[in-house]
A and B are shown apart, each in its own frame.
Chain A
Amino acid sequence: MIESPALMETAPVVGPLPTVVPPVAARSALANGLDVVLVQRQVAPIVSAALMIRSGGGVDAPSKAGLASLTAEMLDEGAGARDALGIADELERLGADLWLGSGRDGSQLSLQAPRETFAAALDIAADVLIRPRLSDGDWERVLHDRRTACVQRRDQPEAVVGVVSDRVLFGDDHPYGRPTEGLEQTIAHLTLDDVRGFHSGYWRPNHASLVVAGDFDEAQLRERLDAVFAEWKAAPVPVAPTPPPWPPRPRLVIVDRPGASQSVVRLVAPGTNRLSVDRSGLAMLNAILGGSFTSRLNFNLREKNGFTYGASSSFAFLHHPGSFAVRSAVFAESTAPAVREMLSELSGLRERPASAEEHAKARATLLMRVAESLSTTGGIAATFGEIGLYDLPLDEPLRFAAALERTTADDLRTLAARYIDPDAASIVIVGDRAVIEPGLRELGLPAAVAYDADGERLP
């Protein structure tokens, strides 16, 4: 045993948290209406750009799920003077990463390149955005790859639990009820004309925003942006239908995976939308419940009981109200006790929303998460990209910080009573049904409803 000096016996005094100071962001609009935000950061010699389109999989008809994301993926399969491999080769030569994809609420083109080659990479990005070839041969190949990816997803229990949970929560007729990437059945209905329609309908400068962050000369960059986006024309954007309300849902769903040594478990319930005034308070409540290592869920399921490598919770704050979810992967034989503990933590949150320590911790955790995301070029692009996507004010990080400061223990109690209801949650499990079902019945849960890995209810 080492004798330690007195200075080790007490924890150091921790001074006040630093204030979150967002970087200076300059907002302007191009002639075609594109909203542009520029943020300088000179730590690494790189530049990151995020171009956000304000529509994603959330406007896909359920029978055509995958359209937004396949449209994004098709754009760099040949554009302007280059074919698909020509684009890939030139981006590599420039050391640039170009990524295209869609989420629920947006589609995105991201570009990251060294300072010296960013302007050249931006030319290619503009080709991809404005002048995609969308040819039959590329479409056939991309669609085939996507179909195979949809087949492979069935092998991945973590992915399957997400597909099934969304279907259970949002139902058959809501666009959030199908995965953004689509399903084997839904992408079979898609045509290249659908892709052309999505691109010409939604990929418009008046329905988009661009953030460029990093190490660049502002005057030169503005000149480049004006030039490369000059041909991109504004046009009216289709109005997406209003999705249906929350459907009734089963209490217990099992996707059978015979022989699985772990059960992947998710509890899902209705949450709220991105613009909700409750968002900052719910983020704090979530930090306490399952949003950090010392959160109640992780502490209970991992540290106290050893059921799992980790347990967490999250709200998906989307354009339409999104999900509230609790998640973990547990020993197959611990499935029922793990579900019991998850439910009891949800009840516990209503009864004891937050101690003073938890309240302070949640605030500090979320504030420092903001500071951390603003501490990298990619994080700045992502933060201001989200601001563009949801049309938020430029000082959103400060508003969020201020809202965290304002939230009281009473606010958290009210929010817990309103949003956290263990009896309203659907329990979705990907695991070995024969092993786990008897224990779940002993918890007093109803008989499980069987779903397949694509989210279809089985007879």
Chain B
Amino acid sequence: MLKIQFDTFTLSNGLTVILHPDRSSPLVAVDLWYHVGSKDESPGRTGFAHLFEHLMFMGSRNAPYPAFDAIMESWGGHNNGTTSNDRTNYYEIGPRNLLETFLWLEADRLATLPDVITEEELEKQRKVVLNERRQSYENRPYGRAELAISEAMYRPEHPYHWPTIGSQADIEAATVADVRAFFDRYYRPSNASLVVAGDFDLATGRALVERYFGWLPQREPPPRAARPLAPHLAEDIDMTLTDRVQLPRLRLAWHAPALFAPDDADLDLAAHILGGGKSSRLYRALVFDRRIAQDVFAYQGSQILSSLFQAGATAKPGYDLDEIGAAVDAELTRFAAAGPTEPELERARNTHLADFYKGLDHLQTRADLLNHYQYLLGDPDGVARDLERYRHATRESVRAAFARTLAGKRLALRTIPEPVAA
């Protein structure tokens, strides 16, 4: 059984630390997760966790802007951050001689960011984020549907109702006071976990982490607003959007169990069997045999509070979404009734395991995976527990999980070509 070797400890201020030495190349990766995402925002202040991630690069007391990027890039290091509904991560990758610098930079911004942030910096990153919104959604084919899904599936008070990128109006309304309050609430050592991976020895790694993070004061983990999880869709919903596309696309979505809840891994396998690659049922039926679709998809979008199972297809020229919808429904209904064949299940399981191994090749992916397990399971040693779920899946468990999901209410979202001005 595959294991990722690591050592873990908690600093007295509550920061969880995970060290993963790997001397196979002269590189190090630092990966810091803050347990805050767009789910922790409030209506009217959406997009804030992500906007904040951008501000984390705007300088800290001892590394004023643009030192964060400038110092590490001067030695060939690079970095980024990502925000999801559930968490925010920051990572640096570079030569081993940058390890101490990476830790110093991360610790300094955790300690001092709100002291130095200015209105001007907020204004600049606001523009960058609005451009990111245009580039990733507004000016991208079918991007409007991606923004619409969560708003349709979750009621306004649900933390997944708004997309992580936020609304333009909310991004425009954010103030420096909001930034400081957000930082104060969520950016605490006790609300974070730090993975250091790569070319160092355990003793050095531990000493450096203690040196740069150990002095930060202890604070309780942030209080979480107890938001009631609103009921799911009360009825089936049909929606149609127009977009600047030539081919219509159908997207179906159901509520599904949360990440690591029962059925989650079975639904992953079901999604692969239905829509993953040339071997999948939807591909065979709609693309290969009937040639009515250009592409098909199915996936279990696993998240902490609850997941969405999505499936759909893009019509080939000359075919409409009624025909596509009927063909997709027929495949899904058949699968819910009879489940996968044994060879289908074996293929899906083997593909999942192989993809997992392939992911382990990359240092930062391993670092991120350790943080993922730490956050979800409270223990970085999650590989075995994670993969067992897939090994134990049976034809009946996959069928039943899928049938339960399909029995719920669903959203059918159609994207159709925008009328062309004459």
Which residues of A are at the interface with B, using a C-beta cutoff of 8 A?
1-2, 4-5, 7-21, 41, 43-46, 84-85, 88-89, 92-97, 112-114, 117, 141, 144-145, 148-149, 151-152, 154-157, 257-262, 264, 292-294, 299, 302-304, 306-309, 329-331, 357, 360-361, 364-369, 371-372, 374-378
Q: Is there an interface contact between A149 and B284, defined as CB atoms closer than 8 Å?
A: no
Interface 1/0 per residue, B312-350 and A, CB below 8 Å: 000011000000000000000000000000010011101
| Shortest Cβ distance from A292 into B: residue | B73
B138 at the interface (CB under 8 A from A): yes
Q: Is there an interface contact between B211 and A262, defined as CB atoms closer than 8 Å?
A: no
Between B26, B123, B346, B353, the greatest number of chain A beta carbons within 10 A of the residue's beta carbon is seen for B26
Q: Is there an interface contact between A371 and B25, defined as CB atoms closer than 8 Å?
A: yes
Of residues 264 through 300 on chain B, the ones whose CB sits less than 8 Å from some CB of chain A are 277-279, 284, 287-288, 291, 294
Q: Is there an interface contact between A85 and B246, defined as CB atoms closer than 8 Å?
A: no
Q: Please name all residues of chain A whose beta carbon is closer than 8 Å to the beta carbon of B27 when the two chains form the complex.
A: 368, 371-372, 375
Q: Is there an interface contact between B317 and A330, defined as CB atoms closer than 8 Å?
A: no
Q: Is there an interface contact between B108 and A112, defined as CB atoms closer than 8 Å?
A: no
Q: Is there an interface contact between B421 and A258, defined as CB atoms closer than 8 Å?
A: yes
Question: Could you list some 6 contacts between A and B, CB below 8 A?
Answer: A8-B104, A45-B357, A88-B277, A93-B350, A149-B294, A368-B77
Q: Is there an interface contact between A114 and B354, defined as CB atoms closer than 8 Å?
A: yes
Between A141, A303, A367, A377, the greatest number of chain B beta carbons within 10 A of the residue's beta carbon is seen for A303
Q: When A8-B111, A46-B357, A93-B343 are in contact, do A331 and B131 touch as well, CB less than 8 Å?
A: yes
Q: In whole Å, how far is B123's beta carbon from the nearest beta carbon of chain A?
A: 8
Q: Is there an interface contact between A368 and B357, defined as CB atoms closer than 8 Å?
A: no
Selected from A92, A329, A365, the residue in CB contact (under 8 A) with B76 is A365
B135 at the interface (CB under 8 A from A): yes
| Shortest Cβ distance from B71 into A: residue | A11
| Shortest Cβ distance from A363 into B: residue | B76
| Interface-side segment among B91-99, B155-163, B232-240, B254-262 | B91-99
Q: Is there an interface contact between A12 and B284, defined as CB atoms closer than 8 Å?
A: no
Q: Is there an interface contact between A308 and B26, defined as CB atoms closer than 8 Å?
A: no
Q: Is there an interface contact between B104 and A46, defined as CB atoms closer than 8 Å?
A: no
| Shortest Cβ distance from B121 into A: residue | A303
Q: Please name all residues of chain A whose beta carbon is closer than 8 Å to the beta carbon of B348 when the two chains form the complex.
A: 92
Q: When A41-B24, A92-B350 are in contact, do A152 and B361 touch as well, CB less than 8 Å?
A: no
A294 to B75 alpha-carbon distance, docked (Å): 12
Selected from A18, A41, A43, A257, the residue in CB contact (under 8 A) with B97 is A18
| Shortest Cβ distance from B137 into A: residue | A261
Selected from A12, A157, A307, the residue in CB contact (under 8 A) with B131 is A307
Selected from B112, B132, B279, B421, the residue in CB contact (under 8 A) with A88 is B279
A16 to B96 alpha-carbon distance, docked (Å): 9
A1 to B362 alpha-carbon distance, docked (Å): 38
Selected from B24, B74, B131, the residue in CB contact (under 8 A) with A43 is B24
B43 at the interface (CB under 8 A from A): no
Q: When A43-B361, A365-B76 are in contact, do A306 and B111 touch as well, CB less than 8 Å?
A: no
Q: When A2-B111, A303-B66 are in contact, do A367 and B76 touch as well, CB less than 8 Å?
A: yes
Between A88, A94, A258, A369, the greatest number of chain B beta carbons within 10 A of the residue's beta carbon is seen for A88
Q: Is there an interface contact between A375 and B74, defined as CB atoms closer than 8 Å?
A: no
Q: Is there an interface contact between A376 and B287, defined as CB atoms closer than 8 Å?
A: no
Question: Which interface class (under 10, 10 to 19, 20 to 34, 35 or more) fits B?
Answer: 35 or more
A367 to B26 alpha-carbon distance, docked (Å): 12
B62 at the interface (CB under 8 A from A): yes
Selected from A95, A330, A367, the residue in CB contact (under 8 A) with B350 is A95
Q: Is there an interface contact between A113 and B139, defined as CB atoms closer than 8 Å?
A: no
| Shortest Cβ distance from A96 into B: residue | B354
Q: Please name all residues of chain A whose beta carbon is closer than 8 Å to the beta carbon of B291 when the two chains form the complex.
A: 141, 144
Q: Which 6 A-B pairs have the closest CB atoms?
A: A95-B354, A368-B76, A306-B127, A18-B26, A364-B76, A375-B25
A331 to B127 alpha-carbon distance, docked (Å): 9
A378 to B247 alpha-carbon distance, docked (Å): 35
Q: Is there an interface contact between B111 and A92, defined as CB atoms closer than 8 Å?
A: no
Q: Is there an interface contact between A152 and B294, defined as CB atoms closer than 8 Å?
A: yes
Selected from A11, A88, A157, A378, the residue in CB contact (under 8 A) with B361 is A378
Interface 1/0 per residue, B49-75 and A, CB below 8 Å: 000000000000111001101110111
Given contacts A84-B278, A262-B135, 12 further A-B contacts (CB under 8 A): A2-B216, A2-B217, A4-B61, A12-B104, A141-B291, A144-B316, A261-B139, A262-B138, A309-B135, A361-B74, A371-B25, A371-B27
Q: When A85-B284, A364-B74 are in contact, do A152 and B111 touch as well, CB less than 8 Å?
A: no
Q: Is there an interface contact between B316 and A148, defined as CB atoms closer than 8 Å?
A: yes
Q: Is there an interface contact between B62 and A89, defined as CB atoms closer than 8 Å?
A: no
A329 to B143 alpha-carbon distance, docked (Å): 16
Q: When A43-B24, A45-B2, A84-B278 are in contact, do A294 and B73 touch as well, CB less than 8 Å?
A: yes
Q: Is there an interface contact between B347 and A92, defined as CB atoms closer than 8 Å?
A: yes
Which residues of B are at the interface with A, using a C-beta cutoff of 8 A?
2, 22, 24-27, 61-63, 66-67, 69-71, 73-78, 93-98, 100-101, 104, 107-108, 111-112, 115, 123-128, 130-132, 134-135, 138-141, 199, 211-212, 215-217, 244-247, 277-279, 284, 287-288, 291, 294, 316-317, 343, 346-348, 350-351, 353-355, 357-358, 360-363, 421
Q: Is there an interface contact between B108 and A148, defined as CB atoms closer than 8 Å?
A: no
Q: Is there an interface contact between A365 and B358, defined as CB atoms closer than 8 Å?
A: no
A330 to B168 alpha-carbon distance, docked (Å): 16
Q: In whole Å, how far is B217's beta carbon from the nearest beta carbon of chain A?
A: 6
Selected from A11, A41, A148, A368, the residue in CB contact (under 8 A) with B317 is A148
Q: When A8-B108, A292-B78 are in contact, do A151 and B62 touch as well, CB less than 8 Å?
A: no
Q: In whole Å, how far is B194's beta carbon from the nearest beta carbon of chain A?
A: 16
Q: In whole Å, how far is A142's beta carbon from the nearest beta carbon of chain B?
A: 11
Q: Please name all residues of chain B whose beta carbon is closer than 8 Å to the beta carbon of A262 when the two chains form the complex.
A: 131, 134-135, 138-139
Selected from A18, A151, A259, A378, the residue in CB contact (under 8 A) with B246 is A151
Q: Is there an interface contact between A148 and B288, defined as CB atoms closer than 8 Å?
A: no
Q: Please name all residues of chain A whose beta carbon is closer than 8 Å to the beta carbon of B130 when the two chains form the complex.
A: 331
Q: Please name all residues of chain B whose beta carbon is closer than 8 Å to the beta carbon of A88 when the two chains form the complex.
A: 277-279
Q: In whole Å, how far is A300's beta carbon from the nearest beta carbon of chain B?
A: 12
| Shortest Cβ distance from A332 into B: residue | B134
Q: Please name all residues of chain A whose beta carbon is closer than 8 Å to the beta carbon of B215 when the two chains form the complex.
A: 4-5, 7
Q: Is there an interface contact between B77 and A377, defined as CB atoms closer than 8 Å?
A: no
A95 to B390 alpha-carbon distance, docked (Å): 14
A309 to B111 alpha-carbon distance, docked (Å): 27
Q: Please name all residues of chain B whose beta carbon is closer than 8 Å to the beta carbon of A368 when the two chains form the complex.
A: 27, 75-77, 94-95
Q: Is there an interface contact between A155 and B246, defined as CB atoms closer than 8 Å?
A: yes
| Shortest Cβ distance from A151 into B: residue | B246
Q: In whole Å, how far is B110's beta carbon from the nearest beta carbon of chain A?
A: 9
| Shortest Cβ distance from B73 into A: residue | A294
A136 to B348 alpha-carbon distance, docked (Å): 30
Selected from A4, A157, A361, A367, the residue in CB contact (under 8 A) with B139 is A157
A299 to B115 alpha-carbon distance, docked (Å): 24
Q: In whole Å, how far is A136's beta carbon from the nearest beta carbon of chain B?
A: 15
Q: Is there an interface contact between B128 and A308, defined as CB atoms closer than 8 Å?
A: yes
Between B75, B97, B101, B351, the greatest number of chain A beta carbons within 10 A of the residue's beta carbon is seen for B75
A18 to B27 alpha-carbon distance, docked (Å): 9
Q: Please name all residues of chain A whose beta carbon is closer than 8 Å to the beta carbon of B287 when the two chains form the complex.
A: 145
Selected from A95, A141, A303, the residue in CB contact (under 8 A) with B353 is A95
Q: In whole Å, how far is A3's beta carbon from the nearest beta carbon of chain B?
A: 9
Q: Is there an interface contact between A361 and B73, defined as CB atoms closer than 8 Å?
A: yes
Q: Is there an interface contact between B288 and A141, defined as CB atoms closer than 8 Å?
A: yes
Q: Please name all residues of chain B whose beta carbon is closer than 8 Å to the beta carbon of A307 when the two chains form the complex.
A: 127, 131
Q: Is there an interface contact between A10 and B95, defined as CB atoms closer than 8 Å?
A: no
